[in-house]
Amino acid sequence: MTSADGTPVRVGLFGLLGSGNLGNDGSLEALLGYLRAEHPEAVVDALCGGPEAVTARFGIPATRLHWNRAEYRTASRAGAIAAKGLGKLVDVFRTAAWVRRHDVVIVPGMGVLEATLPLRPWGFPYALFLLCASGRLLGTRVALVSVGAAEIGNRPTRALVRWSARLAAYRSYRDAQSRAAMRAMGVDTARDEVYPDLAFALPTPPASAPSGTPGPVCLGVMDFHGGNDDRDRAEEIHRRYLDGTITFVRTLVAEGRPVRLLTGDRCDRSVVAAILDAVDSPLVTAAEPASLADLMNEMAAADTVVAVRYHNLICALKTGTPVLALCYAAKSDALMDRMGLGAYCHPAREVDPDRLLEQFRDLEKHAAELRGTLTERNQVATRQLDHQFTALSTNLFPADAHAQRKAP
């Protein structure tokens, strides 16, 4: 893909990528797959949270998102506070200089327009605002592609997210409620489309054939302490979630079921350690997935999955493995409903081991039927994402060059 003057189109990718969150990196991988297939001549680099990891894994140049390396650490000393303040100013110029070098900047998926987990306004929301404002001022098209959104109560965060969305040249959402949330926050969404999460575009490993006897259960865990509005009872929420999960695992082990613990972010390892310590059994093992592909391989070999993280749910759904969702935000309920498993949701904030076990039994009872449903829904998701990528090429890249490449 070349621009009007014959030079390769310069594409920047932006977000908390390479920072240990498998879902974020999965969205990047899916977007890179599209670019390499449809626009192989494009010159691609990233402004991201973990530049070394992104370069090592995906082979593209990357720059650190924040000037201040301690941006996401709590600042208590005067020097650390001053560094954070200086970083906010320096990042204005760093972000603008990076944006200026590109024809197009893409934010690939992720919940960049929500605050369903603890979030400070002057962290990533501020960085996203700088990106979108720089794009508008410098004439670089910024695209928010299949992103997640939710109504935000905190006024500074809400304002930064609202203006980021308004300043973007292209927006699409990973579910209808995300689009509705942005409309409720004052963004004109009349031209915005809804498509599945980008992770649905990733390759799917072959599922193992059901053995007919009870097999392994994958349990996707999360270092869960509630969301932005739960800070005053974060530890209570975490303890209830952990205790309920441990009780559930103990019940499965007592029945002789192997349980495979899976993470979705490096911070989840503490939960894995707590479960292994509480349930001392060779039937309970833990994996250390490094990508969504690793997660899908684990889940494809399981009979059923119980998971919290949004992209853990996607991995199970994509492999056609029946999954019970511990939902911490409305996006999880919407995803499960869209894929035909809306009846198998359980609140992560109020884990009830007895009710959870009852839902799990029902999930396994209807497993064959649900696998058929997931096959159909995944086919629909694939077609919708094909349409999304066509829309991206139309909206973000020179139409004549794309048509010329496609011509026989």
Give the pLDDT confidence of 26-54 residue by residue, as tens digits: 999 999 999 999 999 999 999 999 999 99
Say which residue the tokens 């977007």 belong to: 31
Give the model's pLDDT for residue 206. 80
Compute the average pLDDT of residues 138-160.
94
Give the model's pLDDT for residue 6. 61
Instruction: Say which DSSP state 375 is in.
Output: H
Two tokens at 309? 């993280």
Give the span between the Cα atoms of 218 and 266, in whole angstroms: 18
pLDDT at residue 401 tops 90 = no
Compute the average pLDDT of residues 102-122.
89
pLDDT at residue 78 tops 50 = yes
Give the model's pLDDT for residue 85. 72
- Count of CB atoms situated within 10 Å of the CB of 382: 14
pLDDT at residue 226 tops 70 = yes
Give the model's pLDDT for residue 7. 80
pLDDT at residue 211 tops 80 = no
Sheet-wide strand order for 217-220: 284-286, 259-262, 217-220, 304-307, 323-327, 345-347
CATH of 10-194, one of 2.40.10.330, 3.40.50.2000, 3.40.1440.10, 3.10.129.10: 3.40.50.2000
pLDDT at residue 376 tops 80 = yes
What is the domain class of 217-378 according to CATH?
Answer: alpha beta
Give the span between the Cα atoms of 173 and 180, in whole angstroms: 10
Helices 234-254 and 269-278, packing angle to 10 deg = 50
Minimal CA–CA distance to 154: which of 126, 194, 134?
126
Q: Is-contact 309 348, C-beta < 8 A? A: no
| Residues whose CB is less than 8 angstroms from the CB of residue 13 and which lie 6 or more positions away in sequence, other chains included | 28, 31, 32, 44, 45, 46, 47, 48, 60, 105, 106, 107, 108
Compute the average pLDDT of residues 304-310.
97
What is the longest distance spanned by two Cα atoms in the chain? Answer: 68
- What is the number of alpha carbons within 13 Å of residue 235 lying toward its C-beta? 0
> CA–CA distance from 135 to each of 100, 163, 185 (Å)?
8, 12, 21
Q: Is-contact 54 18, C-beta < 8 A? A: yes
Q: Which residue has the higher pLDDT, 139 or 68?
A: 139
Q: Is-contact 30 60, C-beta < 8 A? A: no
CA 187 to chain centre: 22
Interval 173-198: pLDDT, tens: 999 999 999 999 999 999 999 999 99
pLDDT at residue 4 tops 60 = no
Interval 321-345: pLDDT, tens: 999 999 999 999 999 999 999 999 9
Compute the average pLDDT of residues 350-370.
96
Domain boundaries, the chain: 10-194, 217-378
**What is the pLDDT confidence band of residue 400, given thresholds at 50, 70 and 90?**
very low
